Chain A
Amino acid sequence: MTAALPALPVLLPALGAGMSLLRLPRPVMRGLGIGVLTAVVACGAALLVLADRHGPQALHIGGWPAPLGITLVADRLSALLLTVSALVALAVLLFAIGQGTAEERRSSAVIFHPAYLVLVTGVSLAYLTGDLFNLFVAFEVMLAASYVLITLDADENRTRAGMTYTIVSLTSSLLFLSLVALVYAATGTVTLAQLGPRLAELPDGLRSALALLLLSVLGIKAAIVPLHFWLPDSYPTAPAPITAVFAALLTKVGVYALLRTQTLLFPRTGVWTLLACAAIITMIVGILGALAQDDLNRLLSFTLVSHIGFMLFGIALFDTQGLTGTILYVVHHIVVQAALFLVAGLAVRRTGTAALHRMARRPRPGPLVVTLFVVPALSLSGIPPLSGFVAKLALLRAGVAQGTPAAYALAGTALLTSLLTLSTMIRVWLAAFMGQPPGRPKERPARPPGSGRNRPSGTRLMLVAAAGMTTTGVAVAVCAGPLAGLGERAAEDLLHPREYRSAVLEGRQR
């Protein structure tokens, strides 16, 4: 039973997507989505426990041994991210059901649930896959679903944004595919576990060319500056839950792929200057972009770009501490960014606008929504008791421990970016959540009746989902100790992948 466990997080959502294509009644469809995602969370947690106790779990599909067949591998890192991502996907699905994005019209209801489950399939496959070509397929599955979601019931503006998004992603996918072809031509394998030693035998020039192509491909997916332009343009146009799940999962899968491939394929010692520069530019450009924005969703998208820089920080350091910091940061950021986008969705729904200067004149949302915003916002800026602080502290300590000029520059930029994030968040807070006191609108009533709060039960479900995300964020901070230990062991695994290789290649089953 445990041997087949790595297949379940991929199979269950795929089967669920197939079943929800049938003309099922709405409650069944909702139950199906929620049930499948809960099962994926459970599988992820079980895999995490197994991988932590017994080392990486490999599954050779169809019984073909590693270099021939398709391999799924769950080690600590992938199981951890799988669990967190599935949890976020579950919360966002609840939010979407509450908001009615999922089922506004009959036509979109038929499309939303299958597309959402296919998205989760792609994300799980990307985390679990053991070879480069399957990683490409996983990205395609995930992105194809995301193209559908971002252009679902689109008006002109969203079609334009969706077009940009689709074309940029497709181009990067084709580049990824050419990379797979080149890697195969050079080494004769695409299994990640075999590629490391074989790539090490190649001439230096070819090796760096492949590494650079891989970096730029994954850089487009993860929105590293200067390859980020598509992100703040396309994400904010989608409905809140879809933006939240994209922001939480899609770019993080890019970061995960970067983490996995760079450690396994191109191991190095010492700071990686190119990536360090990219990280610094990403942090600064992202946060300055956020400061200049007036639209709440665009502002959050720019902070997302900025905080990708923090994750690159740890990868650029390329030692155990740095990678630990990155892993913690990815976990923290998946949860917190999803929470922020969900709460932003709530606020936009209450006030009817996403422009900050107009939100300031509308009655402010209730205390619960304000609290739900403040906790993740402070966490994002790294205020002590919250999860952002833990992750940032790990990164900064890694930077200072390394002690090279590049590491100090990274640490300094990270501190500056945190401060600027805090100022951005305070600006949002003052404008959007500390506007007019409730009940006394200065200029005119907030919304024409019937358009805002016409579905109280839906709003309650949205609040529950957002509150769940915020609580998870706090839980990440509370469990910081064990989580940091887990992150450190995962980082050790990444830097010394002998166990991973033997699990994949020798088909060792425990």
Chain B
Amino acid sequence: MTLVAGGLFAIGFYLMLQRSLMRIVLGFILLGHGTNLLLLVAGGTPGRPPVLDGTTDGSARTADPLPQAMALTAIVITFGLTAFLVALAYRSWRLSGHDEVRDDVEDRRIGTVRERAEAGPAPDRDEDGTAPGEDR
């Protein structure tokens, strides 16, 4: 169980470091599964009865319900947020036509500094003072 949780964490983080949004979403799902598994592992050894019905002797220990409750809550939360994330990725794909994560504004601005320097000062920066990659 612990090894599986560790493996899910590793694969999840690897996928999250990818460029494609869909892989990031998949990575998030795996990471969520790993975390839920970890919560279950935190509940102690498996195989204990969930409910005592009086036929067993009083010395038998029940399964710890708290991590199960927490895992249940966490599953619901991860599920909802995954749905949101997929919707967001879909909208991003609709708007931009591909599902790659783009460079952030700062990176693009730094990337275009040299181009701008070579082109010389723009005559009317007020009209289009923004860098070519900076679409705001």
Contacts and interface: CB of A to CB of B under 8 A. Distances in A.
Contact of B81 (A144, A161, A162, A357): A144
B74 A177 contact: yes
B38 A181 contact: yes
Contacts of B21: 163
Interface in A45-63: none
A355 B80 CA distance: 37
A181 B39 contact: yes
Contacts of A233: 104-106
B112 to A, nearest CB: 13
A182 interface: yes
Contact of B136 (A157, A159, A167, A357): A157
Given A166-B88, A355-B129, A358-B129, A178 B38 contact: yes
Give the residue among A161, A164, A170 with the most B Cβ atoms within 10 A.
A170
Contacts of A144: 77, 80-81, 84
A181 B35 contact: yes
A140 interface: yes
B91 A154 contact: yes
A174 B31 contact: yes
B84 A171 contact: no
Interface string B69-112: 01001100110110011001101100110000110111000000
A277 B69 CA distance: 39
A24 B133 CA distance: 43
Nearest to B39: A181
A256 interface: no
Chain B contact residues (Cβ within 8 angstroms of A): what range?
35 or more
Contact of A167 (B16, B38, B73, B126): B16
A167 B32 CA distance: 12
Interface residues of A, number: 38
A144 B87 CA distance: 14
A164 B130 CA distance: 22
A230 to B, nearest CB: 9
Contact of B89 (A147, A163, A184, A355): A163
A161 B105 CA distance: 9
The prevalent SS among residues of B at the interface is helix
Interface string B1-37: 0000000010000001000010010001001101100
Interface string A221-243: 00000000000110000000000
A276 B81 CA distance: 35
A171 B126 contact: no
A298 B85 CA distance: 25
Contact of B16 (A137, A171, A178, A357): A171
Contact of B67 (A148, A156, A181): A181
A361 interface: yes
Give the residue among A147, A160, A174, A357 with the most B Cβ atoms within 10 A.
A174
A171 B28 contact: yes
Interface in B56-72: 66-67, 70
Interface of B: 9, 16, 21, 24, 28, 31-32, 34-35, 38-39, 41-42, 66-67, 70, 73-74, 77-78, 80-81, 84-85, 88-89, 91-92, 95-96, 101-102, 104-106, 125-126, 129-130, 135-136
Interface of A: 133, 137, 140, 144, 147-148, 151, 154-157, 159-164, 166-167, 170-171, 174, 177-178, 180-182, 184-185, 190, 232-233, 298, 355, 357-358, 361, 443
Given A147-B88, A171-B28, A178-B38, 17 more contacts: A133-B70, A144-B80, A154-B91, A161-B104, A163-B88, A166-B84, A167-B16, A167-B24, A170-B85, A174-B35, A174-B78, A178-B9, A180-B39, A181-B35, A181-B70, A182-B38, A184-B42
Of all A-B residue pairs in the complex, the 6 with the closest CB atoms, nearest first, are: A185-B42, A156-B95, A181-B38, A181-B42, A181-B39, A184-B42
9 contacts: A148-B84, A163-B88, A174-B32, A177-B74, A180-B39, A181-B42, A182-B38, A182-B42, A355-B129
